[in-house]
Amino acid sequence: MADLRWNDLAGQLIAGTSVVEGSAVAIFMTDVSVMPAVEAFVAECYRIGALPQVIAADERFDRLAVEFASEAVLSSAAPLELASMEWADVHVSFRGMVAPASGLDEARVALQRAGKGAVSTARWQHTRWCLVRVPTPEWAELAGVNYEPLLDEFFGGCLADWGTLKPRWDDLCAELSSASTVRIISSDTDISFGVAGRSWISFSGEANLPDGEIATAPLDDRVDGHITFPGTFWFAGVAVTDLRLEFSEGVVTTSHATAGAEFVERLLSTDAGARRVGELGIGTNALMRTLTGDLLIDEKILGTAHLALGRAYPDCGGVNESSLHWDIVKDLRAPGSFLTVDEVRLIADGVVVGKFADATAL
């Protein structure tokens, strides 16, 4: 029996991206596993009089490019993907959580991100957009969790009561927009972010699904200290383990990793803005609890924080430019972990507290 929640997800996407009669809708499908989501969304687009067009931006093709393409082709933006951003009013990308390939050349994967970044930049410059990260049984197995509960969390994170949560998160963002400094402290981390004069915005069911975070763009020269990300996570199909980044005056000065170290350094060398922090985010979705190693999922979990190296959100006042936007998630749910804003605790000893607890309660 078909899972009717895919229809509910399609309705959320229609509302969140403001698809109306006559809208041109570009759709990327990165794996056949996401077909139920794509089919439901395409049907709903046609039903209301929009024009959906689907591109098979399959990750298998990306892997073939890494293996066989020239460096010039590998680093270039895919022409049809780029053209779709010029054509479309709305873009929705359904990204299946497929198990990463082994044995790929990490330097060439990093090179490929330049072209991917150009498409991503065109997406947020020219369209109303949403990325949908869809769990699969193989990713659940990779993460060591059960698939059905993970799928339930996914739908919970997509179909939350945004009408109730968004006003609370917006109020919290308005309050945080007068802050000067955010600090994250744990047994392996002590890092501060200058945020004076920058706006905070909430993500609540519109641009990313699953959703649930508040975010800002730190001042380019006001990130100092070190932050560690224990365990393994994946970016562009490459595993990175036990990553540690050290910052001085906003720039990554040193990186360490027990796996994926060369890949990290290649990403940091993407362009002039890749070593700076474009985003500081805090997860706000209490319906999501399972750390999966997938950044688009994990960054929404209540009790986590994340930074993104590279491109900043202009909506927050950010000015850093880069073809890279790489979110990296820090789990702060363990005792001894703290996140403070001007010395007021939002997370204390791994527990959400105070106004932050009130704003994120179900």
CATH domain 5-134 topology: Thermophilic metalloprotease-like (3.40.1830)
pLDDT at 236: 87
Contacts 24+ apart (CB under 8 A), 340-343: 340/182, 340/183, 340/185, 341/176, 341/179, 341/181, 341/182, 342/179, 342/180, 342/181, 343/183
Which of the residues in the chain have pLDDT under 50? Answer: none
- Residue 275 tokens read as 């070593």
Q: Where do the CATH 3.40.1830.10 domains begin and end in the chain?
A: 5-134
The CA–CA distances, whole Å, from 325 to 117, 297, 307 equal 8, 15, 10
DSSP element (H, E) containing 12? helix 5-16
Side chain identity, residue 55: I
pLDDT on residue 114: 86
3-state secondary structure of 153: helix
**DSSP bridge partners of 309:** 277, 326
At 212, give phi and psi (nearest 5°): 130, 80
**Residue pair 295/235 in contact by the 8 Å Cβ criterion:** yes
How high is the pLDDT of residue 101? Answer: 80
Please tell me the chain's helix, strand, coil percentages from 3-state DSSP, rounded to the nearest 5. 35, 30, 35
pLDDT reported for residue 1: 59
State the burial class of residue 83 (Cβ atoms within 10 Å of its Cβ: 0-12, 13-18, 19+): middle
Q: Each residue of 216-265: pLDDT tens digit?
A: 999 999 999 999 999 999 998 899 999 999 999 999 999 999 999 999 99
**What whole-number distance in Å separates Cα of residue 250 and Cα of residue 133?**
30
List helix spans (H) across the chain. Answer: 5-16, 35-48, 59-68, 71-74, 79-87, 106-126, 137-143, 147-158, 162-176, 261-268, 295-298, 354-360
Give residue 198's identity as a one-letter amino acid code.
Answer: R
Compute the Cα dihedral for 114, 116, 120, 122 and give only its sign. positive
What is the per-residue pLDDT across 175-190, written as a single tens digit (0 to 9) for each? 999 999 999 999 999 9
Q: What is the pLDDT of residues 294-325, one digit of tens each?
A: 999 999 999 999 999 999 989 999 999 998 99
pLDDT (0 to 100) of residue 207: 86
Give the per-residue pLDDT at 161.
94
